[in-house]
Structure 1
Amino acid sequence: MRVFFALGLNESVNLAARKALADYKNQLSGEGRAVPDANLHLTLAFLGDVPEAVLPALCEEANAICLSSFSLTLSQLAVWSGPNIACATVATPPAMLCELAHRLSQLAAWPAQRDSHAFTPHITLRRGVKTVQGLDGPPLPSLTFTCQRFGLYASPSHQATHGPRDSEGIALYQCLHAFDLTSRN
C-alpha cells in the first residue's frame, strides 16, 4: 500500500479557504488535468509502498509527536517542470510545518529508503503542466489555513481496481488515521 503523511486541510476552520482553493484550481485551464478536489493536500512525508503490518508502528510514532498547531498561507502559483505540476506554494513556510515534516521523515518505523529531496511545501493543483505560460487563469489569491491535524493517507496504485474514485474515475486518497497537533507542554 502506497502511503504518505499529509495535511488534509479539511478541518472545519478551513472550509472556506479549502473551497476557495478548489474554486481557484477549477478556474485554471490549459495544460494538464486538475487534481480532484478531494485529493487536495500538502504532503509532509511520502513513504511509498509500505506493508500493512508496519502501519500500527507508524501511527504510534506519529501520534507521539508533540507540536503546536500553526497557520500557513498559500500565496504563489508555481510550475515545476520535473514532475510537470502546477502547485500552490508558501512564500515563507512556518517553522512548525518544517519541524513536523522533519520529525515524520525521522520515524524509526519508516520502512523504506528515505526521500533525498528537500521538503518543499506545496499543494498540487494540476498535473501534466510544463510551463506557467501553458496555464490560463487568475492569480492565486492569498489563502491562510489553520493546521490542527495531519493524517496518514493511502494512495491507490494506478493498477488498483478498488477504492473510491471521482466522477472521472481518478482514484481518491483515503485518510487511514488522523493525528491532532496540540501543545502538550
Structure 2
Amino acid sequence: MSIQRLFFALELPAPLQQQLVQWRADHFAEGAGKPVAAANLHLTLAFLGDVSAETSQQLQQLASRIIQPGFSLDLDDAGHWPRPGVVWLGCQRAPRGLLQLASLLRAQAARHGCAQSAQPFHPHITLLRHATQKVALPPRGFHWQYDVSDFALFSSTFSQGRTRYRRLARWPLPSSSGA
C-alpha cells in the first residue's frame, strides 16, 4: 500500500515567494534559524499526515466539490513560537474565506481518519525553523496582499537532508464578486 505525507495548502505565487525571501534576509539575523526554501513557502490549511492512496483519492474528490469564492489575503503580522522554533508570517485578521476553507478541509480530513490538531487554526507561513533563541521581529508596517484563487494538495518528502513539497492537485476558488 502506497503511503504519502500530505497536506492541503495555499501556494504562494513565485514573485511573492521571492519578495518574502528577500524581506526575511533583510530583517532576520543569519543565525536566527534555518530559512525555509522559497519553493517551500506556503500556508497550510489542513495537515493530513501519512495517508494511503485510497484516502488521498477520497479527500481529493471531496476537495473538488468545494465551492467557495476566492479571497484576498493580507500578510501583515509576524511572530515567533519558541517551543517549536518557528518564525512565521501571517495576517492580523484572517479573512472569513480562509477560515471557512481551512475548516472544511480539516473537517473532511478528520472524518477520513486524519487526526487534526486540537489547537485553533492559526494561518501562517513558516519563514524560519529551529529558531529557539529569542528572535528580534521586524517593526510593524510590512504588508503583502494577494488574491487567493485556488488551493492545492501537496506531498512532503525528506531526502538527502532536505524537505521537498510537490503539488499533487489544485482546485480553483471562483472569483468573488465585489471583493
TM class by smaller structure:
0.7 to 0.9
Pair 119,57 (structure 1): closer, same or farther in 2 beyond 3 Å: same
Q: CA–CA distance in 1 between the matches of 2:37 and 2:15?
A: 17
Residue 83 of structure 2 aligns to a residue whose secondary structure is coil
Which of 7, 13, 23 does residue 4 from structure 1 map onto?
A: 7
* Residue of structure 2 in register with 1:164 after alignment: none
Q: Is contact 1:47–1:110 with CA below 8 Å preserved after alignment?
A: no
Residue 20 of structure 2 aligns to a residue whose secondary structure is helix
Which of 110, 118, 122 does residue 120 from structure 2 map onto?
A: 118
* Residue of structure 2 in register with 1:25 after alignment: 24
Answer with 1-10 or 33-42: which moved more. Answer: 1-10
Q: Is contact 2:9–2:45 with CA below 8 Å preserved after alignment?
A: yes
Pair 37,18 (structure 1): closer, same or farther in 2 beyond 3 Å: closer
Residue 111 of structure 1 aligns to a residue whose secondary structure is coil
Query: How many residues end up aligned between the 2 structures?
Result: 171
* Residue of structure 1 in register with 2:38 after alignment: 37
Aligned: 1:182 with 2:174: yes
TM-score where L is the length of structure 1: 0.83
Residue 131 of structure 2 aligns to a residue whose secondary structure is coil
Q: Is contact 2:152–2:169 with CA below 8 Å preserved after alignment?
A: yes
The answer for unaligned runs of 5 or more in structure 1 is 162-168
The answer for unaligned runs of 5 or more in structure 2 is none
* Residue of structure 2 in register with 1:48 after alignment: 49
Q: Is contact 2:32–2:135 with CA below 8 Å preserved after alignment?
A: yes
After superposition, what is the alpha-carbon deviation per residue over 1:131-181, rounded to whole angstroms, capped at 9, x for unaligned?
Answer: 5x434867672000210001001111x4x46xxxxxxx5222001101111
Q: CA–CA distance in 1 between the matches of 2:53 and 2:130?
A: 31
Q: CA–CA distance in 1 between the matches of 2:5 and 2:175?
A: 30
Residue 118 of structure 1 aligns to a residue whose secondary structure is coil
Answer with 116-125 or 135-144: which moved more. Answer: 135-144
TM-score where L is the length of structure 2: 0.85
Percent same amino acid at aligned positions?
A: 32
